[in-house]
């Protein structure tokens, strides 16, 4: 039976509706983002956190609304791929005049995948690759300011500050500029270079997140490019420069996949991302989009990168990831790639009592929560299609036995109906087995800091076990096992009641009633799994984690509305205040 002719009026109307919906979303996104400078000026940290949560929800709400409109518009032709191919062509032409075309392409993909639940990809009805190898519009203004170094570095830094409308009176801008200049001089000296720089390029807009604001740029010295990030705080008595970051690793941590998104005003994201890429050449484009708030397009870039990587699967196969076998998740990766896939098992091992729906809810909670630099960002994917040759026999057996609700295995293909993709880190228990003494001590000390950072951010990991934490390439400890995660304020921290007699002490079951949310910190020591020398180091720095006082004080601070500022850079980057 032949298809009815395509109605050009209908395709134009549908493309226009999607395009308008995207522009409304972008307008609302920008309105929230612009509020960041006012929040910073007014010390309105609760408002900043509320804005971050509101902005995260905009995209789904926009797609929900346009889906309803599209179903009404197309009616019984909603599933006709020829119609959608025509809609895509009309929509693509509309992108020739806008500066955020790549975000608009991703928005279109979100709509079509909502309508079709596409298995794999279909380039006829979605932008598998961008339609534009080069930007379709010309840059109207440079994304950065350039400051030629014709005077002492401290004077140049003051010129930089004068260029920004920070709306905050600084306590001693001359002193701060001198400190930045001194740090730059020391850095150049360590490079074996003179202290005379050539120029500084600075991104035009301020990056806001939490209680901090950041000026991001690059220093040119001869043929060398040096990253530059200036960290600002607005204290009760005025603004200060809290520190300066001058190496790629420190700036990379600032833009980490474990942190909340920046609020930075930008009309043409492509230019900003490629400016940042010059500063952070080892940071993937996807992560830069995500860190600046464009997480959906970051996910698109991640998927495109994955598709390219899969072309080499005859040499590099997915296999079960290193570390202890998870009770809730099957975790696998390609050895040459730094991403891992996590699929929910059909059945959970004892003593897990959670459900599939609850696990998905935990991951959604992490997405919406301030990750405090300690929770890995997990990207949710559906209906991924792979060649079966990309999977090792061991992994195929694992999937066929334990993930039949999630995975469909054909003769020459694998379809993953639902899963998460995260950055791969080394499990902490694996790392400690291979680390030297100094590395191991630093790791267990930071493990304690990670638990504390999560606590003051209203997160309790649930399972405080080495295997549920990992260590990044920068040596930071992060948490990635979310099936038991909960808010700290939902926990009831208790001391163990004293045993009535010896039989109580030796009993396999508690001699007292334990409610679902009861937590006994003094029992943590039994489960941390550290050898005695490292246990001694951990206790030296974090013995308070085994007492209820720490946890109850953290709860009281959260309930009182106190918000912590967890510094996204090391103490060595900070300035000493008078």
Question: Which residues are part of the catalytic machinery?
Answer: 377
For the chain, how far is it from start to end, CA to CA, in angstroms? Answer: 82
Q: How far apart are CA 534 and CA 544, in angstroms?
A: 16
Q: What is the 3-state secondary structure (H, E, C) of 220-250?
A: EECCEEEEEEEEEEEECCEEEEEEEECCHHH
Q: How far apart are CA 469 and CA 375, in angstroms?
A: 9
Bridge pairing between strands 407-409 and 379-387: unpaired
List Cα–Cα distances, 532 to 435, 437, 440, in angstroms.
16, 13, 12
Residue 495: which of 546, 459, 452 has the closest Cα?
A: 546
Q: How far apart are CA 229 and CA 222, in angstroms?
A: 20
Is-cis flag, bond preceding 215, omega within 30? no
Q: How far apart are CA 104 and CA 111, in angstroms?
A: 11
> Looking at the DSSP assignment, which residues form a beta bridge with residue 230?
215, 244
Nearest 10 degrees: Cα torsion 190, 196, 201, 203 = 60
The alpha-carbon radius of gyration of the chain (Å, integer) is 26
Here the tokens at position 554 are 């953290």
Tokens 């905050």 found at: 168
Chain centroid to CA 464: 22
Backbone angles phi, psi at 463, to 5 degrees: -100, 105
> Looking at the DSSP assignment, which residues form a beta bridge with residue 232?
213, 241
Give Dmax over CA atoms of the chain in angstroms: 85
Tokens 């790392």 found at: 431
For every residue of 470-533, DSSP letters joined together read EE-TTS-EEE---TT-B-GGG-EE-PPPPPSSHHHHH-SS-SS---TTEE-GGGHHHHS---HH
Q: What is the 3-state secondary structure (H, E, C) of 243-274?
A: EEECCHHHHHHHCCCCCCCCECCCCCHHHHHH
Tokens 């005049």 found at: 97
Here the tokens at position 83 are 């119609």
């Amino acid at each position: 039976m032949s298809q009815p002719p395509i109605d050009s009026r209908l395709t134009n109307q549908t493309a226009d509706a999607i395009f308008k919906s995207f522009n409304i979303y972008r307008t609302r996104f920008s309105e929230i983002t612009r509020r960041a400078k006012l929040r910073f000026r007014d010390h309105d940290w609760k408002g900043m956190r509320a804005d971050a949560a509101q902005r995260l929800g905009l995209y789904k709400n926009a797609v929900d609304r346009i889906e309803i409109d599209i179903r009404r518009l197309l009616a019984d032709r909603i599933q006709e791929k020829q119609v959608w191919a025509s809609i895509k062509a009309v929509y693509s032409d509309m992108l020739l005049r806008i500066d955020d075309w790549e975000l608009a392409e991703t928005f279109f993909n979100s709509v079509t995948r909502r309508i079709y639940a596409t298995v794999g990809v279909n380039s006829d009805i979605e932008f598998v690759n961008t339609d534009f190898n080069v930007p379709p519009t010309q840059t109207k203004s440079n994304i950065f300011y350039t400051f030629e170094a014709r005077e002492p570095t401290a004077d140049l830094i003051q010129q930089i500050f004068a260029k920004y409308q920070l709306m905050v009176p600084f306590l001693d801008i001359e002193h701060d500029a001198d400190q930045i200049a001194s740090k730059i001089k020391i850095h150049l000296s360590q490079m074996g270079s003179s202290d005379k720089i050539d120029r500084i390029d600075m991104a035009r807009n301020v990056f806001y997140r939490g209680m901090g604001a950041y000026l991001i740029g690059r220093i040119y010295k001869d043929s060398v490019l040096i990253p530059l990030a200036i960290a600002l705080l607005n204290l009760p008595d005025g603004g200060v420069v809290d520190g300066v970051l001058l190496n790629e690793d420190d700036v990379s941590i600032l833009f980490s996949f474990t942190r909340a998104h920046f609020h930075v005003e930008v009309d043409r994201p492509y230019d900003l991302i490629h400016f940042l890429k010059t500063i952070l050449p080892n940071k993937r484009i996807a992560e830069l989009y995500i860190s600046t708030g464009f997480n959906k397009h970051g996910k698109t870039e991640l998927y495109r990168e994955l598709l390219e990587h899969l072309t080499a699967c005859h040499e590099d196969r997915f296999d079960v990831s290193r570390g202890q076998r998870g009770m809730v998740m099957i975790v696998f990766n390609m050895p040459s790639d730094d991403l891992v896939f996590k699929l929910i098992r059909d059945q959970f091992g004892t003593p897990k009592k959670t459900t599939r729906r609850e696990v998905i809810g935990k991951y959604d909670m992490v997405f919406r929560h301030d990750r405090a630099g300690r929770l890995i960002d997990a990207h949710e994917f559906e209906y991924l299609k792979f060649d079966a040759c990309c999977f090792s026999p061991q992994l195929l057996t694992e999937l066929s036995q334990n993930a039949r609700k999630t995975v469909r295995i054909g003769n020459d293909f694998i379809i993953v109906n639902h899963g998460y993709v995260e950055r791969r880190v080394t499990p902490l228990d694996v790392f400690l087995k291979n680390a030297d003494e100094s590395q191991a001590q630093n790791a267990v000390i930071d493990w304690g800091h990670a638990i504390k950072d999560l606590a003051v951010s209203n997160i309790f990991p649930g399972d405080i076990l080495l295997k549920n934490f990992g260590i990044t390439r920068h040596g930071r400890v992060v948490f990635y096992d979310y099936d038991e995660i909960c808010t700290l304020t939902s926990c009831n921290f208790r001391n163990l009641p004293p045993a009535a007699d010896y039989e109580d002490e030796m009993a396999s079951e508690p001699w007292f009633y334990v409610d679902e949310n009861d937590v006994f910190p003094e029992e943590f020591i039994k489960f941390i799994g550290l050898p005695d020398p490292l246990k001694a180091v951990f206790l030296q720095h974090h013995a308070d984690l085994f007492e209820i006082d720490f946890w109850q004080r953290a709860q009281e601070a959260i309930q009182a509305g106190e918000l912590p500022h967890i510094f996204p850079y090391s103490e060595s980057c900070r300035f000493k205040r008078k």
